[in-house]
Structure 1
Amino acid sequence: MPGKRSSDIMSAGPVRKRKKIDLEQKMKIVKKYEGGQSLSSIARELDLATSTVKSILNDSARIKEHVKGSAPLKSTVITKQRSGAIYEMEKLLTIWMDDQIQKRVPLSLMIIQAKAKSIFEDVKGKYSDPNAKFVASHGWFNRFKQRANFHNVKVSGEAASADTKVAEKYPEVLRKLIEEYGYTAQQIFNVNETGLFWKKMPDRTYISKEEKTTPGFKAVKDKLTLLLGGNAAGDCKLKPLLVYHSENPRAFKGISEVNLPVHFRSDRKAWITMALFEDWFINLFIPEVEKFCRENDIPFKIMLIVDNAPGHPAHLDDFHPNVKVVFLPLNKTSILQPMAQGVIANFKACYLRRTFAQAVEATDRETGKTLHDFWKSYNIYQAIINIAKAWEEVTQVCLNAVWKKMCPQFVHSFKGFEKDKTYEEVADEIVKLAEQLELEIDVGDVDQFIESHGDELSNEDLMELEAAKVKEQTEAEDEVEVVEEPRHFNTKEMALAFREIDSALARFEKMDPNSSRFLKVNRGIDETLACYRQIYEEKKKATIQLSFNKFVMKTEQPATSTSPQPSTAKAPSDNPNDVMPVSSSPSSSTN
């Protein structure tokens, strides 16, 4: 039989290339189908064969199970589900390594092996063979790296440390670069990432102790990552970038993320990834500093100093001709990075002070609310508001003084740049607020709290994080989504709010013997509320106009006539003989 001609092969249509489909894409296909999209529509959208999509949907239960089991989402093969003490140890070890990488802590094979053995000893008691042994061999580590998708993680033979001699020489190198390009203090910026356990309390508070003993009350390990920064002059404080593990937290219902006082982004591990940093640099940082230069009549010529974090792309310098990116020497962040020299510590102290002040206010009211109740109801949206306000409280003096080690020529004051007077005052206020809450803490506890955000996660912490992750996934699956109406203004509520404010001011006026002081306060409040009053007046006018339009439309409609309509019937006559003929009906007819 003759072979098939080439023309026949060509007419058979294009040959579809085989594609590797990872777990992430498989989950997208499952979600699209469960959301009501048809099988053929999904196939067309993703350029896949209909049979391929059908096979994935038939295997959806196993796909979901593997995603729950922390399988790497970029994996293209679903292997046999593993279980037991070693499997649990590897899940916890993955969380620990992620945390260490995010903190830029150098990892050695010896350190990883020791941590793996330590975790295994803590978890093996829950399984059938409590006397099981685990040898963290090189072979096991290589297989673990592949399973956990740590292909690009560099593991050194020995943990590196900051080289103070190189750090001492670097400011002079940077000074020459600044002079060569002619940058001023207002044109030089630094940013740095920091983790924040937004629901954490100092260790000696009874809430912190209760968290260690009460099942189900361990939210303190819920972490987010912030990118904070500003210029060397201290007069340009950048809007914070905040990365959280949840894309749509429950606390955001009815709230637009665009209007948040931070740039909100999400990542499964709450990391500032390379893609997120690049997006921030191009779409947020450059427009913000360009606007700052324009408003202050400064040439748009910027130097951004960053460290060599894994999430900082090496090609940042290529994105904009007016923005030069300078990378700090490896392992010198702790010595040189301005934001790490006191700004972040001040910010975290201000954040703790705000949360304590809110706790005092909540428990002072006649609501019967306890500190425990307040802390359980404290959510990520409230934390974001406090983060923004705490960042506002970091002073220009602090933002300028922390450049002493890197750019001493720009610093106006050399007093207490690491923990300036502001930090000490804030710490004292926190202690006083704690006394009102009947908590026994001192300034040393505040220092320990600030530093604890960078502590290594213990085995107990890792187990809590994994349990919280499983619980969150279960709740998300069981939750029935309720579509809530977005927040909006209405005239009735606004009028009520203005009346309450006026009533409160009237009370102060009655009590205040100093009329000029009251008038000053009254003017300040009026100016602050001016934007809300403008919205109120506009909405009120719109309501009146709408009512008027409805009235006009109603009056312009043709009225229904009530006068008698002409009849085709003959008019009655005064003559009694003039009788109208009556048509006969079948019932009246005679045979």
Structure 2
Amino acid sequence: MPGKRKRVVLTIKDKLDIIEKLAVGNSSKELALIYGIGESTVRDIGKSKEKIITYASGLNSTSGLSRRKSMKPATYEELDRAMLEWFNQQRAKGTRVSGPSCLKQAQFFFYALGIEGDFNASSGWLSRFKQRHGIRGIAIPGDRPSGDEAAASRFCSGFQELLERENLRPEQVYNADEAGLFWRRLPSKALRGEGEPGGPAPEGPKDRITVMCCANATGFHKLKLCVVGRAKKPPAFAQAAASNLLVSYFSQKGAWMERAIFKQWFDESFVPQVREHLRSLGLPEKAVLLLDNAPAHPNENVLKSDDGNIFVKYLPPDGAASIQPMDQGVVATMKRHYRSGLVQKHVDEGGDLRAFWEKLTVLDAIYEASRAWNTVTPVTISRAWKNFFPENAGFDFEEGGVSAVHLATIFKRAEGCGDVDVDDVERWFDVDRAEPGYEVLTDSEIIRRAQGWGDDSSGNEEEGEPGLVPERPISHAAALEWTESLLNYLEQQCDTLLSDKLLVRRLRTTIRKKQKTPR
């Protein structure tokens, strides 16, 4: 008679591994033998897939996954949520959190949340909090301040060892970083009425989107720009094949990057695009993505391809900004190209600057941001990797030929912009340099969110807010009539390019086919 099976308690990492193996076709019976558990346990893990992945995404280190065996909640769940939100924001800013400051903040949140009970902000509580969320490196008084160059240097050395161990070339090494973009912002002195002391009104939430740039260390593979906006995904985006989309677009009420969106981008955009690029070069489909410690980034153990060959490595909390490639002028250059592109678009179209800016839509901004990202050169990107690949250093960083002097001259010609000068344009270029791509909460907002109130930034757009494209349907007959009028106009213009006329003729043919095809 066989002996009783020894009870095995799996770690969160074991459960994630089982979920991955189930996804690629391993049977419950096979996995039960490998892990020494019952088949019913394997099936239960498969049924709890979403819950386990969500929990693992919130842990702050891989070691936490390897040690933690249960998803048992904290005694004071509201306090735990508030402290984790606060800690993640401090870490994302590069602020080192000492044990005493962490305990002091916990005590503040406990009373501010109005929790009933007897809470002791002790080292024991701190230890359990760290263990629960896989947190390492809460500093003690006397440690060196944030921006630790030694930590950054150690990471770069260790990363080189990783590349050698995994046999990865610069072509297989990527970095991604998100940032806020004030897409409708003008220079502060632009469009002022006579005698008015200030420029345009400050932007509200609707005038901001999040953009995320991602490229490899050679600069020759730039992934499609990732955009998070408030508006729902337009039908045109939903119906097109993923490979044909202009950008990777996601909607979120506050236009913030969040963990669920980032994981979806990683699985559905990053991994497929990287695989396709490496296949085209005849390289192994293996790559690493470097990320900073933003609260919107899930745990690295849930950010990897099914075969584990495309994975994530996190930069050190201390000194990340000094070595993260996209922070070394790449995102800033994209924004300069975006703003200069809008000005050039106004010049090309002619007319009144105020009317042009008032008609600007978020869809226009997405197209222009995509064009701006495509304009960033491989040289600019490769130089930004000089901390990891010194041979990429080359010459000093350039701003991609975007001239503040030239733009200031254009502005001065526009009505209401006579006071715009070079300094004003330079400030305009940097207006959202420090704007993060994730939501930063005050202590009061953290408290409200921990209590389940005021989480207005999650989900899709507000009811009544327009999408990216008009919802009023346009008939094939109307589209054909407008196309015919446009073609007649182009034929009458002596300076019309043949390529433009051929393009409109192709559109006319497409519309005619759709008109004849019954739905």
1:495 aligns with 2:484: yes
After superposition, where does 1:378-389 map in structure 2 within 5 Å?
378-389=360-371
Shift in Å at residue 416 of structure 1? 1.8
Cα distance in 2, alignment partners of residues 99 and 415 from structure 1? 36
- Which letter does structure 2 place at the counterpart of 1:347? M
1:330 aligns with 2:302: no
- Which letter does structure 1 place at the counterpart of 2:382? N
In structure 2, the residue matched to 1:537 is 509
Cα distance in 2, alignment partners of residues 477 and 229 from structure 1? 33
Cα distance in 2, alignment partners of residues 397 and 140 from structure 1? 49
2:394 alignment partner, one of 394, 409, 414: 414
- Kept in 2, the 8 Å contact 1:347–1:390? The answer is yes
- Which letter does structure 2 place at the counterpart of 1:449? W
Relative to structure 1, is the Cα distance of residues 263 and 334 closer, same or farther in structure 2, using a 3 angstrom cutoff? same
1:484 aligns with 2:468: no
2:357 alignment partner, one of 368, 375, 399: 375
Cα distance in 1, alignment partners of residues 509 and 206 from structure 2? 46
Cα distance in 1, alignment partners of residues 300 and 508 from structure 2? 50
With structure 2 as the length reference, what TM-score do the two structures score? Answer: 0.61
The structure that has the greater radius of gyration is: 1
Cα distance in 1, alignment partners of residues 369 and 333 from structure 2? 12
In structure 1, the residue matched to 2:69 is none
Shift in Å at residue 433 of structure 1? 2.4
Question: Which has the larger displacement, 223-232 or 440-449?
Answer: 440-449
Relative to structure 1, is the Cα distance of residues 296 and 487 closer, same or farther in structure 2, using a 3 angstrom cutoff? farther
- Which letter does structure 2 place at the counterpart of 1:375? W
Relative to structure 1, is the Cα distance of residues 282 and 211 closer, same or farther in structure 2, using a 3 angstrom cutoff? farther
Please provide the CA RMSD for this pair. 4.6
For residues 194-228 of structure 1, the C-alpha deviation after alignment (integer angstroms, 9 at most, x for no partner) is 1112122233334599796888x754873221111
Identity over aligned residues, as a percent? 23
Shift in Å at residue 387 of structure 1? 0.8
Cα distance in 2, alignment partners of residues 204 and 145 from structure 1? 44
- Which letter does structure 1 place at the counterpart of 2:509? E
- Kept in 1, the 8 Å contact 2:96–2:146? The answer is no
Structure 1, unpaired ranges of 5+: 1-95, 113-135, 463-468, 509-521, 547-591
Shift in Å at residue 449 of structure 1? 2.9
In structure 2, the residue matched to 1:342 is 329
Cα distance in 2, alignment partners of residues 290 and 436 from structure 1? 48
Relative to structure 1, is the Cα distance of residues 145 and 263 closer, same or farther in structure 2, using a 3 angstrom cutoff? farther
Cα distance in 1, alignment partners of residues 214 and 140 from structure 2? 33
1:355 alignment partner, one of 318, 330, 342: 342
Cα distance in 2, alignment partners of residues 377 and 295 from structure 1? 41
Relative to structure 1, is the Cα distance of residues 214 and 538 closer, same or farther in structure 2, using a 3 angstrom cutoff? closer
Cα distance in 2, alignment partners of residues 169 and 478 from structure 1? 48
Cα distance in 2, alignment partners of residues 102 and 485 from structure 1? 47
Question: Which has the larger displacement, 431-440 or 277-286?
Answer: 431-440
Aligned residues: 383
After superposition, where does 1:376-455 map in structure 2 within 5 Å?
376-409=358-391, 411=392, 414-417=394-397, 420-423=398-401, 425-437=402-414, 438-455=417-434
Relative to structure 1, is the Cα distance of residues 98 and 175 closer, same or farther in structure 2, using a 3 angstrom cutoff? closer
- Which letter does structure 2 place at the counterpart of 1:324? F
With structure 1 as the length reference, what TM-score do the two structures score? Answer: 0.54
Relative to structure 1, is the Cα distance of residues 180 and 347 closer, same or farther in structure 2, using a 3 angstrom cutoff? same
Shift in Å at residue 334 of structure 1? 1.3
1:301 alignment partner, one of 286, 293, 296: 286
1:312 alignment partner, one of 274, 277, 298: 298
In structure 2, the residue matched to 1:238 is 223
Higher relative contact order (CA 8 A, sep 6+): 2
In structure 2, the residue matched to 1:267 is 252
Structure 2, unpaired ranges of 5+: 1-84, 116-128, 446-455
In structure 2, the residue matched to 1:116 is none
- Which letter does structure 1 place at the counterpart of 2:394? F
Cα distance in 2, alignment partners of residues 202 and 225 from structure 1? 20
